[in-house]
A and B are shown apart, each in its own frame.
Chain A
Amino acid sequence: MLDINKIRSQFPILNRKVNGKDLVYFDNGATTQKPQSVIDAEANYYTDENSNVHRGVHFLSGLATDKFEETRDAVQDFIGAKHKHEIIFTKGTTDAINLVANAYRILLSKGDEIIISELEHHSNIVPWQMCCEISGASLKVIPLLDNGELDMNEFNNLLSESTKVVAVSHISNALGTISPIEEIISKAHKIGAKVLIDGAQAASHIALDMQKLNADFYCFSAHKMFGPTGVGVLYGKEEILNKLPPYQGGGEMIKEVSFEKTTYACLPHKFEAGTPNISGVIAFKQAIDFITELGVATIAKYEDELLQYATTEILKIEGVKIYGTAKNKSGIISFNIDGLHPYDIGMIIDKMGVAIRTGHHCAQPIMDRFSIPGTARISLSVYNTKAEVDVCMNAIKKAKLMLS
């Protein structure tokens, strides 16, 4: 059993008022709030540890480097990667996907195919479109079923010898669908394609084991799992990362530089040009520790309970339609109310202290699929409570009354 009050007490922002009301933060899909340990680690780095990593001979640089690398160890453990150097720090999931898609501009050519899905966030669509434009490869899209699940029959039909990359999300940010990535990975591997998983919404909700999952790339962001913004992870299998060309050139990613020829550093440094977000990476370890102490499975169980409760409650409101009713679903409720615009709902309940996301959630193809301009989205986290769900439901009812 989780002690939710104790968990909440670790998040100072949850005590603040918004528009004179207690904050109900249901926009966790966009970014989660941060526990005191993460905030302290960021501050402490600049107070006591600030120095550049991987190059200085002096004490502080050594200290900063050690702490920076401790996070890499923690990430390796957290996702069950075989090697530490398979963990590349990036700015976030978007940056991680761009790194891989950029490399494939060179590795792919006309006739090759990339498969994505209709469920993707723009950040797992646009980098591949850019990759196709330059490489000449073409983009194939796994369609959605009405309940927001991937049409796996169509996926089977799309797979062919031309398929070189399959890039899909683990959990949809717009609908909450958890996709059968194990099946996708194993089928893609059978025909020799590489698989990238966008795990931005999944990393703190589903226990990860890279060696078991066997994904070639897995990307996620620290800020969606209680960590700082501006830090992300690209996990890649060693042999594949070694074959990819570098992404950005600069300091730290080189072995030797001369005007005639430059040779590149080994993993992970080959992909970490320039001074990284040191304070963010160091503080990210605290976020991982926070999740590990609670246990991913325990978090997921509690969030699922909240999801069931919120789903039951919201369906009691007349005119509510939920988009995304997959059997396997994470703590996200995307909904509309008959005749009302999600923007109006979001604006009004904000005045009652309830923070939700409205709009297309950077996933316009999904909105087109359902012929809607957008949805209102509730996304839950481990510090949320049933009492907060009640406040949100009352706020929605009030908004509905005002708008009808």
Chain B
Amino acid sequence: MNTIQEIQTEIIEDFAMFDDWMQKYEYLIDLGKELSPIEEQYKTEDNLIKGCQSRVWLHAEHTKGKIIYTADSDAIMTKGIVAVLINVLSGQSPSEIANAKLDFINKIGLKEQLSPTRANGLVSMIKQMKIYALAFNN
């Protein structure tokens, strides 16, 4: 398993290949479509991260010292970014997740997706992923 930093570097390299926004968005849409589905039993009100517009469901399990995240969103662009975040953090240890600096977001030009516009639940999602990590760390 690569470290969080290594995975971030790979993602930055992947996104650097795109010439324009359209390729980037199409890639995110594909990632969204390919994201392994969350088990239906976890798509509950408790696991719902509310954005103003698109909704994100996040579930976390702690096994063998690693956290496995699964998630879903009703908007495909949001789901694509959710998939990137899961690629980066899922399978890592609680302490690594809790301390992770997610600087790839700025570098792949997705900062606008994570501005506090309340439009999507992504800012809250990252926070929730870290809260799980802190909880499992204790």
Q: A359 vs B52: C-alpha distance in the bound complex, in angstroms?
A: 7
Contact string against B for A residues 317-345, beta-carbon threshold 8 Å, 1 for contact and 0 otherwise: 00000000000000000000000011110
Given A19-B21, A359-B119, is A341 in contact with B54 using a C-beta cutoff of 8 Å? yes
Q: How far is the CB of B79 from chain A (nearest CB, A)?
A: 9
**Shortest Cβ distance from A223 into chain B, in angstroms?**
19
Contact B120 A402 (CB under 8 A): no
Residues of chain B within 8 A of A402, CB atoms compared: 22, 25-26, 29
Q: How far is the CA of A403 from the CA of B30 in the complex (A)?
A: 9
Instruction: Decide: B78 and A343 in contact? CB cutoff 8 A.
Output: yes
With A358-B53, A373-B53, A373-B55 as contacts: A343 and B22 at CB distance below 8 Å: no
Of B25, B26, B53, B77, the contact of A374 (CB 8 Å cutoff): B53
Q: Which residues of A contact B75 (CB under 8 A)?
A: 341, 343-344
Interface residue tally on A, bucketed by range = 10 to 19
Report B-chain residues with C-beta under 8 Å of the C-beta of A343: 53-54, 75, 77-78, 119-120
Q: Is B14 an interface residue (CB 8 A)?
A: no
Interface residues of A in 331-378 (CB under 8 A from B): 341-344, 347-348, 351, 358-360, 373-374
Interface residues of B in 44-69 (CB under 8 A from A): 52-55
- CB-defined contacts of A341 to chain B, threshold 8 Å: 54, 74-76
Give B104-137 as 1s and 0s: 1 = Cβ < 8 Å from A's Cβ atoms: 0000000000000001100000000000000000
Residues of chain B within 8 A (CB-CB) of A347 are: 25, 77
> How long is the Cα–Cα vector from A164 to B26 in the complex, in angstroms?
55
Contacting residue for A359 out of B29, B53, B74, CB 8 A: B53
Residue from B21, B55, B120 whose CB has the most chain A CB atoms within 10 Å: B21
Can you name the residue of chain A whose Cβ is closest to the Cβ of B118? A359
- Tell me the complex Cα distance, A348–B21, Å: 9
Q: What residues of chain A lie closer than 8 Å to B120, measured between beta carbons?
A: 343
B54 / chain A contacts, CB cutoff of 8 Å: 341, 343, 373
Contact of A373 among B21, B25, B29, B74 (CB under 8 A): B74
Q: Which residues of A contact B78 (CB under 8 A)?
A: 343
Residues in chain B near residue A342, CB distance under 8 A: 53
Separation in Å of the A348 CB from the closest CB of chain B? Answer: 6
Closest chain B CB from A376 CB (angstroms) = 10
Docked Cα-Cα span, A342 to B51, in Å, equals: 14
Which residue of the partner chain B has the closest CB to A398?
B22
A347 to B76, CA, bound (A): 11
Q: Considering the chains assembled together, what is the distance between the CA atoms of A342 and B119 in angstroms? A: 11
Nearest Cβ on chain B to A288's Cβ, whole angstroms = 32
A358 and B53 CA atoms in complex are apart in Å by: 7
List the A side residues contacting B53 at CB < 8 Å.
342-343, 358-360, 373-374
B25 x A348 contact (CB < 8 A) = yes
**Complexed CA–CA distance, A360 and B77 (Å):** 18
Q: How far is the CB of A14 from chain B (nearest CB, A)?
A: 22
Known: A341-B76, A360-B53. 20 other contacts (CB 8 A): A19-B21, A341-B74, A343-B53, A343-B54, A343-B75, A343-B77, A343-B119, A343-B120, A347-B25, A347-B77, A348-B77, A351-B22, A359-B119, A360-B52, A373-B53, A373-B55, A374-B53, A402-B22, A403-B29, A403-B76
Binding site for B on A (CB under 8 A): 19, 341-344, 347-348, 351, 358-360, 373-374, 402-403
List, sorted by A's number, 28 A–B pairs whose CB atoms are closer than 8 Å.
Answer: A19-B21, A341-B54, A342-B53, A343-B53, A343-B77, A343-B78, A343-B120, A344-B76, A344-B77, A347-B25, A347-B77, A348-B25, A351-B21, A351-B22, A351-B25, A359-B52, A359-B53, A359-B119, A360-B52, A373-B53, A373-B54, A373-B55, A374-B53, A402-B22, A402-B25, A402-B29, A403-B29, A403-B76
